[in-house]
Amino acid sequence: MGESPSPGNAVFGPLERHFIAYGTRFEIRADDAAGLAALAARAGTLEWTASTASDPAVRYCLQRRSSGEAVPDFTLRVGDEVLAEGGVDEMLESFEDHAKLQTALHARDVIFVHAGAVSWRDRAIVIPGASRAGKSTLVRALLDEGATYYSDEFAVFDAAGHVQPYALPLSIRTDDPRLRLRIPIREPSDAAPGPVPVGLVVVTRYTAGARWRPRPLSRGKAFLALMANTVAARSVPERAMKTLSAAVAPADAVTGVRGDARRAARAILAAAAW
């Protein structure tokens, strides 16, 4: 197998799709129709909307490397960076991870924070934290107890500090670190919830066998926890600080380690007395 040509030398022809998300334009170019269709379908699950606009801020280039084989093999690039080389599953996982971060980084008018988020009695419960902090597991337990799904990975805050739904499929890690199980939470016919103010910020991490014994957290420390997990904190610091200051102003906050997610979820909702 020879070295793949650079995106600038590749012949992509008419195989391209354009999208827009939170004011940012994206493009996917490809030399393989099936590969392009798979990427476009995954883009649709990320709340990217098909667009005719050109001049993208981010451009993905997909090349098929194994045209003579039954099982396709791809190279996916963004600019000069190789994101993935391999089969469809690996390519889609790498695309989704990168695309979500680019959506968050370039978003206009909203601030993306690494956090799980649910709505309970018309207020948001926000759980900031890095990857593998247990956000998705706790969000799923909160949903089982009756909360409304907003996000398991990014809480999206508007200028008023309210949390908007960003209801991508719930992402659960599997034994294979390269792949995740995706669980759609709402059917397409379900009415989408609207923005809600923050009622509670929960700063927690999972520790096996721990009991959920939360301590009150000041609004200042809750703000810092959100800022520490804000994707665009360095690129738009003033907007991020203004937005998150508004977000924590009406909210309570707690911190503590948790063990069993279901027990923690029940206790969190029971303590949400607004």
Average pLDDT, the chain: 88
pLDDT cut 70: percent of the chain above it: 86
Average the pLDDT over each of 124-138, 150-164, 231-245 and give the range with the smallest value: 124-138
In whole angstroms, what is the distance from residue 129 CA to residue 133 CA? 6
pLDDT digits (tens, 9 = 90+) for 2-33: 333 444 444 444 699 999 999 999 999 999 99
Q: Enter the pTM of the model.
A: 0.87
pLDDT for position 10: 42
Query: How many alpha carbons fall within 13 Å on the CB side of residue 20?
Result: 8
pLDDT digits (tens, 9 = 90+) for 49-86: 999 888 899 999 999 987 666 677 899 999 889 999 99
Contact 245, 192 (CB under 8 A): no
Contact 43, 99 (CB under 8 A): yes
Give the residue with greater pLDDT, 117 vs 89: 117
Average pLDDT over residues 206-222: 95
| Tokens 């207020």, residue located | 123
Domain residue ranges in the chain = 16-106, 111-271
Helices assigned H by DSSP within 52-111: 88-106
Q: How confident is the model at residue 271 (pLDDT cuts 50, 70, 90)?
A: confident
Give the residue with greater pLDDT, 49 vs 167: 49
For residue 270, give every residue at least 6 positions away whose Cβ sits within 8 Å of its Cβ, in sequence order, or none.
none
pLDDT for position 29: 95
Does domain 111-271 fall into CATH 3.20.20?
A: no
Structure tokens at 181: 């199980």
Average pLDDT over residues 151-180: 83
pLDDT digits (tens, 9 = 90+) for 251-261: 999 999 999 99
3-state helix, strand, coil in the chain (%, to 5): 25, 30, 40
Average pLDDT over residues 146-151: 94
pLDDT digits (tens, 9 = 90+) for 177-212: 555 666 667 644 455 689 999 999 999 999 999 999
Structure tokens at 96: 């989704």
